[in-house]
């Protein structure tokens, strides 16, 4: 009986299959499946999209695409299809895709109306991964006192600080011997950019600290005072970090304290003097400072900052 029932079942199934095929072409069934698979493929692995503080409202009209969808997956598929790395969804029906070329002024700007996600490299210009120190920005375009530097990093970035004496030595080595080493052939400027997009610099100390209008490091008045010239002795001689004196004790932002023993890491050879309550990492070859901590005035001193982008939100 069992083989017979199997034959009956097979004939019945084929009969139903023919009737189904006659009334409903196969593409009616296959097409939705293909659409779903294509959408998932375009959206890519969800692990590639990470939450990002961003405000798509800051993007130019020509740099964004708006459409309606209640699905973040569909939004991600549209973003992937158009080669965009940022998508934002309002949790209801609004989706915004921001073109990769229009991310400046959008990333790091808070707007609680949007849930935004970034695809691809987490650390991108004007930040860059620096050895084992994290995703950092060396903001030489904005010189300010320590109080202003505290809130100047683009959210969610904050002032970087070394998590150990080894990291203090690493940042000193990177700045002295890599980022601000004497450039090959004395060439500087936009033609030889750094990985984070900043123009190729000159060494902040010496006889050729200025990148002149022709993209060569020099030290004359003309080299240092033209409208496009950059004097690295001014903009890169020191950097603020998350480090200051609190209640009479030198303290990092994670509440680790530092002894005020002169010449002991992370201090430079003649510090701390304890004259002021702020300190910056400073290059001063005459006194053997190579981006080590030096005590400086909190409000009169205006320096660049080192900002750190968090690994994950």
> What HEC string does 83-116 produce?
CCCEEEECCCCEEEEECHHHCCCCECCCCCCCEE
CB under 8 A, 24+ apart: contacts of 275-279: 276/245, 277/244, 277/245, 278/146, 278/244, 278/245, 279/243, 279/244, 279/245, 279/250
Q: How far apart are CA 24 and CA 267, in angstroms?
A: 79
Closest to 207 in 3D by CA, of 238, 186, 179: 186
- pTM beyond 0.85: the answer is no
Q: For residue range 146-156, list pLDDT tens digits in order.
A: 999 999 998 77
Residue 89 has a pLDDT of 94
- Residue, of 108 and 64, whose pLDDT is higher: 64
| CB 239 within 8 Å of CB 258 | no
The torsion angles phi and psi of 186, rounded to 5 degrees, stand at: 70, 15
Percent of the chain whose pLDDT exceeds 90: 63
pLDDT tops 70 at residue 43:
no
Closest to 208 in 3D by CA, of 227, 191, 226, 233: 233
pLDDT tops 60 at residue 5:
no
Q: How confident is the model at residue 37 (pLDDT cuts 50, 70, 90)?
A: very low
Q: For residue range 77-99, list pLDDT tens digits in order.
A: 888 888 888 999 999 999 999 98
| CB 196 within 8 Å of CB 125 | yes
Residue 155 has a pLDDT of 76
pLDDT tops 70 at residue 12:
no
Q: How confident is the model at residue 109 (pLDDT cuts 50, 70, 90)?
A: confident
For the CA atoms of 71, 74, 75, 80, the dihedral, rounded to the nearest 10 degrees, stands at 160
- Residue, of 19 and 297, whose pLDDT is higher: 297
Residue 28 has a pLDDT of 53
pLDDT tops 50 at residue 14:
no
Q: For residue range 135-146, list pLDDT tens digits in order.
A: 999 999 999 999
Q: How confident is the model at residue 288 (pLDDT cuts 50, 70, 90)?
A: very high
Question: How far is Cα of residue 146 from the mean position of the Cα atoms in its chain?
Answer: 22
Average pLDDT over residues 205-209: 96
Chain position carrying tokens 């701390």: 272
pLDDT tops 50 at residue 262:
yes
Residue 119 has a pLDDT of 84
| CB 268 within 8 Å of CB 285 | no
Q: How far apart are CA 268 and CA 288, in angstroms?
A: 8
How many Cβ atoms from other residues are within 10 Å of residue 125's Cβ?
15
Instruction: List strand residue ranges (DSSP E) for the chain, in order.
Output: 49-52, 64-68, 86-89, 94-98, 115-119, 128-129, 135-144, 158-159, 210-211, 217-218, 230-231, 238-240, 243-246, 249-252, 257-258, 278-284, 289-296, 303-309
What is residue 20's three-state secondary structure?
Answer: helix
Number of H helices, E strands in the chain: 7, 18
Residue 83 has a pLDDT of 84
The torsion angles phi and psi of 56, rounded to 5 degrees, stand at: -65, -15
Question: DSSP secondary structure string, 227-256?
Answer: TT-EEHHHHSSEEE-SEEEETTEEEETTS-
Q: How confident is the model at residue 310 (pLDDT cuts 50, 70, 90)?
A: confident
Residue 166 has a pLDDT of 97
């Amino acid at each position: 009986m069992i083989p017979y029932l199997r034959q009956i079942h097979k004939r019945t199934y084929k009969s139903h299959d023919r009737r189904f095929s006659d009334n409903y072409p196969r593409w009616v069934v296959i097409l939705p499946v293909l659409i779903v698979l294509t959408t998932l493929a375009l959206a890519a692995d969800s692990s590639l999209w990470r939450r990002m503080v961003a405000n798509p409202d800051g993007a130019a009209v020509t740099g964004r695409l708006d459409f309606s969808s209640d699905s973040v997956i569909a939004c991600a598929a549209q973003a992937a299809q158009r080669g965009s790395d940022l998508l934002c969804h309002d949790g209801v029906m609004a989706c915004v895709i921001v073109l990769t070329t229009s991310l400046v002024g959008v990333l790091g700007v808070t707007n609680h109306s949007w849930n935004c996600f970034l695809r691809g490299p987490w650390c991108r210009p004007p930040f860059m991964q620096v050895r084992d120190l994290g995703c950092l920005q060396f903001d030489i375009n904005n010189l300010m006192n320590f109080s202003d530097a505290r809130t100047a990093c683009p959210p969610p970035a904050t002032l970087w600080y070394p998590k150990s004496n080894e990291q203090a030595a690493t940042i000193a080595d990177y700045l002295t011997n890599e980022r601000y080493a004497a450039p090959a052939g004395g060439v500087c400027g936009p033609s030889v950019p750094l990985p984070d997009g900043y123009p190729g610099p000159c060494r902040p100390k010496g006889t050729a600290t200025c990148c002149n209008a022709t993209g060569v490091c020099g030290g004359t008045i003309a080299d240092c005072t033209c409208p496009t010239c950059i004097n690295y002795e001014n903009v890169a001689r020191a950097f603020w970090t998350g480090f200051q004196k609190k209640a009479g004790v030198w303290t990092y932002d994670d509440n680790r304290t530092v002894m005020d023993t002169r010449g002991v890491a992370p201090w430079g050879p003649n510090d701390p003097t304890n004259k002021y309550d702020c300190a910056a990492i400073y290059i001063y070859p005459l006194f053997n400072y190579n981006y080590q901590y030096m005590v400086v005035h909190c409000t009169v001193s205006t320096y660049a900052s080192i900002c750190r982008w968090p690994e994950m939100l």
